Chains A and B, each alone.
Chain A
Amino acid sequence: MERVPILKIGDILLVSIQVDMSDQTAVALQEDLAERIVATGCHGVIIDITALDIVDSFVGRMLSSIASISRVLDAETVVVGMRPAVAITLVELGLSLNGIRTALNVERGMELIAANRYHDDLDEFLDGPDAEPTASP
């Protein structure tokens, strides 16, 4: 079985899916990512799907799961690089990719994560360390 590599860049884990994943490979990626988030303490995950020429319901569900798992582990997931034909097909398939943040490319994804961390830090600073965390916009 092929495995998708996970790269660490600063505070972000970057996954660039370059292969036509079997379902097993997709499940392994989900598990590998959860372990790497905990091991590295990273607060952001970027999944680059530029090279994927389809996203079916299985991969769509995997992306949603990764977003949920990383949120529980205090990391935010951004999916980047979705092709227009893939987006059109996903919507017609009926997949809404609930809870997934998207950006057009890796650079914008990194900006999105950085901006959210900044807002979180700012909220914490303004509310004081003992205050309840506020929901980010």
Chain B
Amino acid sequence: MTSGVGLGRPQTQAVGSDEDVVRVRQLVRTVAVAAKLSLVDQTKVVTAASELARNTLVYGGGGSVEVAAVDNGRRPGITIVFADSGPGIADLELALTDGYTTGGGLGLGLSGARRLVDEFDIQTAPGQGTRITITKWSR
């Protein structure tokens, strides 16, 4: 988990369909409200989660999303982990560039999601799947 004291049990949502992406959004919203994020920050983290959960589905071939309320001792927040065992990302720098896409989308999912959160960590390699961890702290 992240540095600091965890709060509550993480909740997991499998991502295997469109409807699961909707469920991820709803779960993230619930935890973000509990973590006392402002309305704008809730909106940002739910939007980021929607982009990344869609990537897990479309590029990763499905996977899982784990959502947890966290606390670093000063502020509460929310941490979300998106994991898939898909093909992984060969050129990470390119994938994080605005407008770059291999899927016919707008190419804003990964780069846009990174802008919307406070912490963004990505672990990936060709053939090794992708694991993205994001955190948003309350202000």
Contact = CB atoms under 8 A, between A and B. Distances in A.
A114 interface: no
Nearest to A84: B40
Contacts of A56: 47, 50-51, 54
Contacts of A60: 106
Interface string A40-62: 00000000000001111110110
Interface in B1-49: 18-19, 21-22, 25-26, 29, 39-40, 42-44, 46-47
B68 interface: no
B108 interface: yes
A22 B40 CA distance: 22
Contacts of A86: 43
B26 A93 contact: no
Contacts, number: 71
Interface residues of B, number: 27
**Binding site secondary structure of chain A:** helix
24 contacts: A22-B18, A23-B18, A55-B47, A57-B51, A57-B105, A57-B106, A57-B109, A60-B106, A61-B106, A83-B43, A84-B40, A85-B39, A85-B42, A88-B40, A88-B43, A89-B40, A89-B43, A89-B44, A93-B47, A93-B108, A93-B116, A94-B98, A94-B111, A94-B112
Interface of A: 20-24, 53-58, 60-61, 83-86, 88-89, 92-95
Interface of B: 18-19, 21-22, 25-26, 29, 39-40, 42-44, 46-47, 50-51, 54, 98, 105-106, 108-109, 111-113, 115-116
Please name the 7 residue pairs, one residue from A and one from B, whose CB atoms are nearest each other, closest first: A93-B112, A22-B18, A85-B43, A56-B50, A85-B40, A57-B108, A54-B47
Given A56-B51, A58-B54, 18 more contacts: A21-B22, A22-B21, A54-B25, A54-B46, A55-B47, A56-B47, A57-B105, A58-B105, A61-B105, A84-B40, A86-B43, A88-B43, A93-B108, A94-B98, A94-B111, A94-B115, A95-B108, A95-B112
